[in-house]
Structure 1
Amino acid sequence: MSDQIIEVSDLQDGIVQIRMQDRANRNGFTVEFIAGLTGAFAEVSQREDCRVVVLTGYDGYFSSGGTQEGLRDLYAGKIQFTDRDLYSLALNCPIPVVAAMQGHGIGGGFVMGMFADVTVLAREAVYTANFMKYGFTPGMGSTFILPEKLGSVLAHEMMLTAATYRGEDFLKRGVQLPIVSREQVLEYALDAARSLAEKPRVSLVTLKNHLTAPLRAKLPGFIEQEIAMHELTFHQPEVKSRIEAVFGK
């Protein structure tokens, strides 16, 4: 396997795989990870030979979301989550994106996968919108996309409680996303990608643009509200203490 944090591979018939594989940081949102993933999507978006993207992680992780350093910077007001726009990469990609979430999706890492056009989950993997575990309100467009993809009852429960769920739990709760065993996730995603790649690129781009237009129109308003909530909730001393406690430092 490549030692690159983000590996871009041409598979077949216009299918491009973007594999996130920063094992040292469990695909957390480090500066290098953000730059690599943003660059990969920028490259794919410009390529006329690409028809579909498969976004996946490694082994037991899809993405663990915010790092301790990143959360500290948010607490200190040095950055906002909009400065590092990962959440809309899949949404704004002109061609369809299939997220093969074979491993755990934590916080922003979970939300990032929800913005894909097709999202495949693993029965065994853990998924959580754990922002409130740190004492601050959710960001990255989660208050918008989670109700859209999971339904409002489950999404609100996830965000309020910061509880963890396995894909199996989602299946029992009637989530309308493909949820299969971990070893089947990538192949399921590739099958979906092959079906998409059979279509003309211009038709895929045109239809995706149409289908995502309402989402792209509504998202900025939710982002503004999330930033406003962060101004109220992120800079509490208790938040800093919780960040240190969760990361054990």
Structure 2
Amino acid sequence: MMDSVIDLRETEPGIVQLTMQDKVHKNGFSEALMNGLVQAFETIKNNERFKVVIVTGYENYFASGGTQEALLAIYEGRASFTDVNLYSLAQDCSIPVISAMQGHGIGGGFIFGMFADFIVLSKESIYTTNFMKYGFTPGMGATYILPQKFGVSLAHEMLLTAANYRGAQLEKRGIPYPVLPRNEVLAYAYELARQIADKPLHSLITLKDHLVGPAREQLAAIIKKEVQMHEKTFHHPEVKERIMALFGK
């Protein structure tokens, strides 16, 4: 499958690479990218050849989260981050997913990558949960998945401060994931993928279902609470001012 913003192709037997390449929005969650991601994972679901998915971006961008227009729509009450369920696409996928985060992961784009079964970061790239920078509380399941992946202390720091962290900084903080030079991230992901693709499909599906089952069961309640926090925090005038003044900076 090939279109302007998503490239989905089986690159080796059993291995499918999903490349996000919305260069106009720097892999922000434009309507085209969101629809493309949903369609791509539906295609993966319906193809019994695939055993493992590698999700990656282009050049120095992995995914940049909500666009300015989308954030303003939520502020105005015309939209919610739950309108399109991007956050758990990787977790809900029946086969293992590797986030080859070769580029910047920003806000919801970073959290999208965190829901994968395997995560590979780059030393040079910026990773941030920048929701509070704009004055509203985190969404996309961030309050659940980030403590699960990075530990409570670092996750709370990232969520509350909305600071930027280079991959090299996160490596020094002891995150349990490989952090490599950008040009080595995808190759490392393929090494992992080949080890996974060697296994029987039915066993991969059965084990992943067991491993992520509790998270799948808990996530709905977390999302509900995040939406409730948005109702309290997203619609203040200061939020719009921050979105207009700070977006992309």
TM-score, normalised on structure 2? 0.98
Matched positions, count: 247
Amino acid paired to 1:182: R
Distance 1:235 1:119 in 2: 34
Runs of 5+ consecutive residues of structure 1 not aligned to the other structure: none
What corresponds to 2:178 in structure 1?
A: 178
Which residue is 1:61 aligned to?
61
In the TM superposition, residue 247 of structure 1 has moved relative to its aligned partner by: 3.0
Gaps of 5+ in 2: none
Task: Tell me by how many angstroms 1:3 deviates.
Answer: 6.2
CA deviation vs aligned residue, 1:58-81 (integer Å, no higher than 9, x gap): 000001111011001100111111
Paired amino acid for 2:138? P
For the pair 1:26 / 2:26, whether they are aligned, the reply is yes
Deviation at 1:231, TM superposition (A): 0.4
Q: Percent identity?
A: 55
Which whole-Å deviations, capped at 9, do the CAs of 1:190-210 have from their partners, x for residues lacking one? 110010000000000000000
- Give me the whole-angstrom Cα distance separating, in 2, the residues matched to 1:219 and 1:169: 28
Q: 1 CA distance for matches of 2:203 and 2:186?
A: 25
Q: Distance in 2 between matches of 1:110 and 1:26?
A: 13
Distance 1:193 1:3 in 2: 24
What corresponds to 1:231 in structure 2?
Answer: 231
Deviating beyond 2 angstroms after TM superposition, the runs of 4 or more aligned structure 1 residues are: none
Q: Following TM superposition, by how much is the alpha carbon of 1:4 offset from its aligned partner in structure 2, in angstroms?
A: 1.9
Task: Let me know the Cα RMSD of the aligned residues.
Answer: 0.9
Distance of 1:137 and 1:38 partners within structure 2: 25
Structure-1 residue corresponding to 2:37: 37
Question: What are the equivalent positions in structure 2 for 1:1-249 lying under 5 Å apart?
Answer: 4-247=4-247
Letter in 2 for 1:33: L
Deviations 1:108-158 (A, max 9, x none): 000000000001000110000000000000000000000000011000000
1:75-112 per-residue CA deviation (whole Å, 9 max, x = no partner) reads 01111111111100000000000010000000000000
* TM-score of the aligned structures, taking structure 1 as reference length: 0.98
Secondary structure at the aligned position of 2:82 is classed as helix
